[in-house]
Amino acid sequence: MIKGFRWAGGFMEHFVRLATQVMIPCQEEVLRDPVKSGAVDNFVRAAQVLRGERTPDSGDFTGMVFQDSDVYKWIEAAAYSLAYRPDDLLRKRVEDMVALVAASQERDGYLDTYFTLGNSDKKFTNLMEAHELYCAGHMIEAASALYESLGDDSLLKVAEKNAALLYKVFITEGREGFSGHPEIELALMRLRKSTGKEIYRELARHFIDVRGTDSDFFVKEEARRDWSVWGMDTKDKMYAQYHLPVREQKDAVGHSVRAMYLYTAMAMLAEADGDESLAEACFNLFDSVADRRMYITGGIGSTSKGEAFSADYDLPGDTAYAETCASVGLVFFCSALLKLKKDGRFADVMERALYNTVLSGISADGRSFFYVNPLEVSKEFTGKTPGSMHVKITRQEWFGCACCPPNAARLLSSVSSYAWEEDEGVLYSHLFVSGTVKTDSMSVNSVTDYPFGDSVTYRIERGSGKLAVRLPSFSSEDFSLSCPYELKDGYMYCEVKEGDEILLRLSMEPVMNRADPRVSYAAGRVSVSVGPLVYCIEDADNTDISALCLKPGKLHRSSAEPSSLGLPPAAADLGKVFTVEADGMRLIPSDTDRLYFTRYDEEPCKVTLIPYFLWANRSPGSMKVWIPLL
C-alpha cells in the first residue's frame, strides 16, 4: 500500500497550497455565515433540538435541502489538508465541527438537519428529492477521510452509527428505494475500506443492484407522499439514471454529477466483487462519455436543462453547462476505473478533466468559482440572452447551491492519491507531479515542471520493483524513456532498482485539434492544446476576438511571467506560464452598415492564446476555445 507522498513543489502543488491555505479557510468562513450559507447554523439548531433546548420548526432550516453536505465536504478537504500540512488551529476547528455534527445525530443514528428541524415525520419518504442518502454519503466520505488521513475516528463512529441505521431500514426491514442523487453507494464502499466491514459493501451493492429494476419506483413514491421539495418530474427516469438496471445502461444520460457518482460506485463495487458484468457496464459508460459526450476540456453535461448529458456529439461551446462538480466526479470515475483495469485512456481523461475544467472552476486567488464552465463567452450576449443565462463571464464568490467550491477543495487537497497507485506489486504513475512516494517496497522521487515542461525524472531512492509510467495519448508518437520498458495499454512497465534514474520526455508542441464533423458547433473551427492543457483566446490579449480567425501554420510557445499577462499576484507561484502565438486574420466587414454582405476584408495579425484554466482572471471580456480556421 502507499504509505505516503511528500510534495516537492511544481504546478500541481500550487493548487494544493491554494486549496489548503486559501480555499478551505475562506469556505469555512462562508459556511459559518448565516446569510451566505447558514449550513453550520443548521447543525447548531439541530443539536439544540436534540438537547431539548429548542422546539423543532422547519422554518429554522437555512438553504438547500442538501446544505449539510457542504459542511461534510469541507471536513473532508480539511482532513486532507491536515495530512499535507499540520495546523493546530485548523485541527481544532475540524474537531469542533465534528463535535457539532455528532451532537446533531439522533439517538437511532439518523443525521440530517433538514429533517431534525421540524420535518421528522417525512424521513425516507422522498428519496427522489430530499437528498438524505446523499448527505449521509458525504458525511461518511468525510469520516473515512479523517480516519485514513489522521487516524481520527471521531466522525467514523458517527458514520458507522448512521450506516447501521441505513442497513436496518433498507436491508433488515426491507424498505424499498434508493437515492435520487447517487453518493451513498461510493461512500459505503469507502467506509468498507476504512473499517474492513463487509456489511457496508452489502448495502452499497443493494443500492446499486436495485436501481432501475423498478423504473416506476419514484413515480409510486411521489403518489404516496403529500409533499415535495422541487416538484421534480419523476417520469424523467434518465435524469437520475433509474431508467434501466445499471448493468444494462450503455449511454451516459441525465444529471451529469449524479451519473459520475453512480458510475464511480459501480466501478468500486465491480473491482471489489470481481463482477465482470458490472465492470463491462462501466467501460461502456466511459466510452459513451469520453468518445461522444465530453468537451475537449474534460467538461461534461452539455445542457443547462437538468445539468445533464444530452445526445451524442451535442457539445455547443457557448451554452455549455460543464459543471465543475461533474468534472470532479469524472476524476473520481476514472480513478475507480484504473483500479478495475490499467488503461491509459482512463488516466488521460482524468488528467484532461482535472487540468482544464476543474482548475477553470477556481479563480487564480482561490476565492471565487465557476459553477458552469463554457468554452465560449461573449461580453455582449453571455448571461443576457435566452439560452445563456446560466453562463457567467466572471467567477462568483459563492452560490445558493454551493456544491462546487468544497468539491474542488476536497479533490485538490487529495490530488496526490490520484497521481500514484500501487497495485499487485506495481507502482503506477498516473499523473506527473513532483515529490516522493513511499511504498513497502520502494521509495521514488519524481521531479517535473509538467504540464508546462516536457520531462519527468524518476529517481529510485530505496528498494526495487516494477514502475509503470503512463504514456499520454497526446505524445504517443513522440516520446522517449531512458530505460527498457514494456508498453501495454498506455503504460510503460519498467524494472527498477535503488539508484536508478529514469527520464521521460514528452512532446509539448502546440497542436490544432479538430472535432468529429458531427459536433456541429466546432465545424470549421480548431482548438489549440499543448500536452494536457487546452488553450483559449481572450479579449485581454486580443482586441475583439469575435473577428479573429486562425491561419493554418506552425504554432509557437513562449513563456511569460504571470504578472506580465495581467494575472493576479496569487498566480505568481505558478512560475512561468506558457502562452501560444499563432498567425491569424482579423475579418473586417466590407459593408459595416449591413447585416449580410458578400465579402470580408482581411487584416493579418498575431493571436495570443492562454491556458483555458486561467481565463476570466483579468478584466471581464469575451473568450473562445474553438476558433474559426481560415
Q: What is the pLDDT of residues 410-459, one digit of tens each?
A: 999 999 999 999 999 999 999 999 999 999 999 999 999 999 999 999 99
Total number of domains in the chain: 3
Residue 492 shares a structural domain with residue 550? no
- Answer whether residue 138 is part of any domain: no
Taking CA atoms, 575 is separated from 14, 43, 104, 561, 600, in Å, by: 10, 42, 45, 7, 41
Pull the grid cell for residue 296.
Answer: 475537449
- Answer whether residue 20 is part of any domain: no
Residue 497 shares a structural domain with residue 544? no
- Burial letters for 568-603: b for 16+ Cβ neighbours within 10 Å, e otherwise? eebbeebbebbbbbbbbbbbeeeeeeeeeeeeeeee
Cell numbers 466587414 correspond to 589
571: left (phi over 0), alpha (psi -120 to 50) or beta: alpha
- Answer whether residue 169 is part of any domain: no
| pLDDT for the residue numbered 309 | 98
CA atoms within 13 A on the CB side of 402: 28
Residue 482 shares a structural domain with residue 516? no
**Cis, peptide link before residue 472, omega less than 30° from 0:** no
Residue 377 shares a structural domain with residue 502? no
Residue 313 shares a structural domain with residue 327? yes
Residue type at 179 in one-letter notation: S
Local mean pLDDT, 10-residue blocks, the chain (630 residues): 82 96 98 97 98 96 98 98 97 98 98 97 98 98 97 98 98 98 98 98 98 97 96 96 98 98 98 98 98 98 98 98 98 98 98 98 97 97 93 96 97 97 96 97 97 97 98 97 98 98 98 98 98 98 95 95 92 92 95 91 96 97 97
Residue 272 shares a structural domain with residue 341? yes
Nearest to 103 by CA among 33, 192, 40, 151: 40
CATH number for the domain including 496?
2.60.420
pTM of the model: 0.98
Residue 363 shares a structural domain with residue 255? yes
* DSSP state letter for 142: H
Residue 385 shares a structural domain with residue 428? no
- Answer whether residue 187 is part of any domain: no
Pull the grid cell for residue 172.
Answer: 433488515
| pLDDT for the residue numbered 495 | 98
Backbone angles phi, psi at 445, to 5 degrees: -105, 130
CA distance 288 to 306: 18
- Answer whether residue 49 is part of any domain: no
CA distance 521 to 502: 43
The active-site residue, picked from 403, 494, 536, 549, is 403
- Answer whether residue 326 is part of any domain: yes
What DSSP string describes 316-367? Answer: -STT----HHHHHHHHHHHHHHHHH---HHHHHHHHHIIIIIIHHTB-TTSS
| pLDDT for the residue numbered 3 | 63
- Sequence-separated (6 or more) residues with CB below 8 Å from residue 291: none
Residue 574 shares a structural domain with residue 544? yes
Residue 346 shares a structural domain with residue 282? yes
Pull the grid cell for residue 318.
Answer: 457557448
Q: What is the pLDDT of residues 66-116, one digit of tens each?
A: 999 999 999 999 999 999 999 999 999 999 999 999 999 999 999 999 999
Give the domain range for residue 438.
419-450+454-506
* DSSP state letter for 562: G
- Sequence-separated (6 or more) residues with CB below 8 Å from residue 15: 359, 362, 412, 415
| pLDDT for the residue numbered 4 | 84
Residue 289 shares a structural domain with residue 338? yes
403 counts as catalytic: yes
Pull the grid cell for residue 466.
Answer: 516494477
| pLDDT for the residue numbered 1 | 44
Dihedral of the CA atoms 367, 373, 374, 379 (nearest 10)? Answer: -20
What DSSP string describes 353-376? Answer: IIIIIIHHTB-TTSS-B-SS--SE
- Answer whether residue 5 is part of any domain: no
Q: What interhelical angle do 324-340 and 344-352 show, nearest 10?
A: 160
173 counts as catalytic: no
Residue 558 shares a structural domain with residue 619? yes
| pLDDT for the residue numbered 2 | 60
Q: What is the pLDDT of residues 337-389, one digit of tens each?
A: 999 999 999 999 999 999 999 999 999 999 999 999 999 999 999 999 999 99
The active-site residue, picked from 307, 323, 351, 421, is 307
Q: How many helices (H) and strands (E) does the chain have?
A: 18, 20
Residue type at 298 in one-letter notation: G
- Answer whether residue 346 is part of any domain: yes
Q: Degrees (nearest 5) of the Cα angle 249, 250, 253?
A: 80
Residue type at 9 in one-letter notation: G
Nearest to 425 by CA among 465, 470, 483, 460: 465
H/E stretch holding 559 reads strand 556-560
